[in-house]
């Protein structure tokens, strides 16, 4: 859970690198328990946990403010700073999302049980005054909130971005991981993608990872801009926009895959040169990549790249003339 404000105006933060924005993480829930501090969890300690891949139970408790606390799953009958007695750490962890003292600007569920928030408990996502505990919910975990609960939250003013949109970065990343393994020989992969015995990371690996991150960020920006603008323009729930967008991409990708356009070498090479990371093309040469990677995989990359580029630009409604015009830049 995260809160923030613009120091200059008191407005909620803009997601922009380098801007004069103060942000604070007020709570973390993981497999080991709960970390909470209404004044913001110490950033240096959090970065230390991330670097060491440790759970929140390893957080330095002396870095918490007097109003903050750590509850481990193993804890029993622990008194919280507000005087409340927490009887069971695991139960507290499982239900902390609904704890009366919890609120934040952003809630980002990145794990947990599917359907954790459903029609039977969605009312607990509101405080005693009937106001949502979270202004924004960004689903980093699949199916954390049910469709019916999403509708209740959105109709109450919560800005909710669905997993179908927010998890597309993971799909992109995974596909590019597979791509590089298919394009390289075993020896090339060991040389350019694997840490050596002395712990040295190959330069190509670092460059490739950075380019993958850039591609993920670019696609995430396109997705957000489309969903946000379309929801505002059509006064439609963002979850519905995400569903329509995803289905449109799938349908268009299938249509492209069944068409003969992939067989046009000039178009195919131009599209794939956009979709395949340039670091990989520079290392092996685009012809080598196209020769080694199975045609079915290249065809899938080709079709989805065109589909996503078209839909983000022209929308989810089918329009043969617009698609024809869109394709002319590849001729």
**Residues contacting residue 25 through CB under 8 Å, at least 6 positions apart:** 1, 2, 40, 41, 43, 46
Strands (E), 103-178: 104-107, 134-138, 159-161
At 171 the pLDDT is: 87
Residue with tokens 């990145």: 110
Per-residue pLDDT tens digits for 8-27: 333 333 334 444 456 899 99
At 160 the pLDDT is: 97
Specify the DSSP class assigned to residue 323. H
Q: What number is the average pLDDT over the span 167-188?
A: 94
Phi-psi region of 83 (alpha: psi -120 to 50; beta: other; left: phi over 0): left
Per-residue pLDDT tens digits for 91-109: 999 999 999 999 999 999 9
Per-residue pLDDT tens digits for 40-74: 999 999 999 999 999 999 999 999 999 999 999 99
Number of H helices, E strands in the chain: 13, 10
> To which H or E segment does residue 256 belong?
helix 238-258
From residue 139, how far is each of 102, 168, 229, 275, 315 by CA, in Å? 18, 11, 19, 26, 23
How does residue 111 score in pLDDT terms, banded at 50, 70 and 90?
A: confident
Instruction: Give all strands of the β-sheet with 69-72 in edge-to-edge order.
Output: 27-30, 33-36, 69-72
At 168 the pLDDT is: 87
**Are the beta carbons of 110 and 141 closer than 8 angstroms?**
yes
At 1 the pLDDT is: 66
What is the rounded distance in angstroms from the CA atom of residue 132 to the CA atom of residue 154? 10
What is the rounded distance in angstroms from the CA atom of residue 249 to the CA atom of residue 323? 13
At 21 the pLDDT is: 52
At 11 the pLDDT is: 34
At 20 the pLDDT is: 42
Least confident window among 13-22, 175-184, 189-198: 13-22
At 304 the pLDDT is: 95
**Are the beta carbons of 70 and 61 closer than 8 angstroms?**
yes
- The two tokens of residue 137 are 């919910």
Percentage of residues in the chain having pLDDT higher than 70: 93
- Sign of torsion over alpha carbons 234, 237, 240, 244: positive
**Are the beta carbons of 126 and 133 closer than 8 angstroms?**
yes
What is the rounded distance in angstroms from the CA atom of residue 130 to the CA atom of residue 172? 39
pLDDT at position 185 over 70: yes
pLDDT at position 222 over 80: yes
**Mean pLDDT, the chain, integer:** 91
Residue with tokens 């924004």: 136
Q: Which fold has domain 2-165?
A: Rossmann fold (3.40.50)
pLDDT at position 313 over 60: yes
How does residue 3 score in pLDDT terms, banded at 50, 70 and 90?
A: low
Domain(s) labelled CATH 3.40.50 in the chain stretch across: 2-165
Task: Name the pTM for this structure.
Answer: 0.85
> What is the phi/psi pair of residue 255, to 5°?
-65, -45
> What is the phi/psi pair of residue 131, to 5°?
-95, 140
Q: What number is the average pLDDT over the span 213-241?
A: 95
- Sign of torsion over alpha carbons 234, 247, 308, 327: negative
Per-residue pLDDT tens digits for 119-144: 999 999 999 999 999 999 999 888 89
């Amino acid at each position: 859970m995260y809160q923030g404000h613009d120091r200059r105006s008191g407005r909620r933060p803009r997601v922009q690198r380098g801007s004069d924005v103060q942000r604070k993480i007020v709570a973390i829930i993981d497999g080991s328990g709960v970390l909470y501090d209404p004044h913001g969890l110490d950033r240096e300690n959090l970065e230390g946990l991330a670097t060491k891949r440790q759970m929140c139970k390893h957080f330095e408790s002396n870095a918490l403010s007097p109003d903050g606390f750590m509850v481990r799953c193993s804890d029993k009958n622990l008194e919280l700073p507000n005087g409340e007695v927490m009887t069971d750490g695991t139960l507290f962890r499982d239900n902390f999302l609904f704890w009366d003292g919890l609120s934040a600007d952003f809630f980002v569920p990145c794990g947990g049980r599917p359907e954790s928030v459903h029609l039977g408990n969605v009312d607990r996502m509101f405080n005693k005054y009937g106001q949502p505990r979270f202004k924004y919910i960004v689903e980093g975990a699949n199916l954390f909130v049910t469709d019916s609960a999403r509708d209740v939250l959105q109709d109450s003013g919560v800005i909710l971005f669905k997993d179908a949109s927010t998890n597309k970065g993971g799909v992109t990343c995974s596909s590019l991981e597979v791509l590089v393994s298919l394009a390289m020989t075993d020896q090339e992969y060991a040389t350019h993608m694997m840490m050596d015995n002395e712990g040295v990371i190959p330069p190509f690996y670092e460059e490739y990872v950075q380019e993958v991150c850039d591609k993920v960020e670019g696609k995430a920006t396109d997705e957000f801009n489309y969903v946000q603008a379309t929801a505002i323009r059509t006064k439609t729930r963002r979850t519905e926009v995400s569903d329509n967008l995803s289905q449109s991409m799938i349908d268009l990708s299938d249509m492209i895959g069944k068409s003969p356009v992939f067989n046009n070498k000039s178009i195919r090479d131009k599209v794939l040169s956009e979709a395949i990371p340039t670091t990989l093309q520079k290392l092996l040469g685009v012809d080598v990549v196209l020769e080694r990677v199975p045609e079915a995989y290249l065809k899938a990359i080709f079709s989805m790249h065109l589909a996503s580029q078209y839909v983000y630009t022209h929308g989810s409604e089918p329009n043969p003339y617009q698609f024809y015009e869109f394709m002319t830049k590849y001729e």
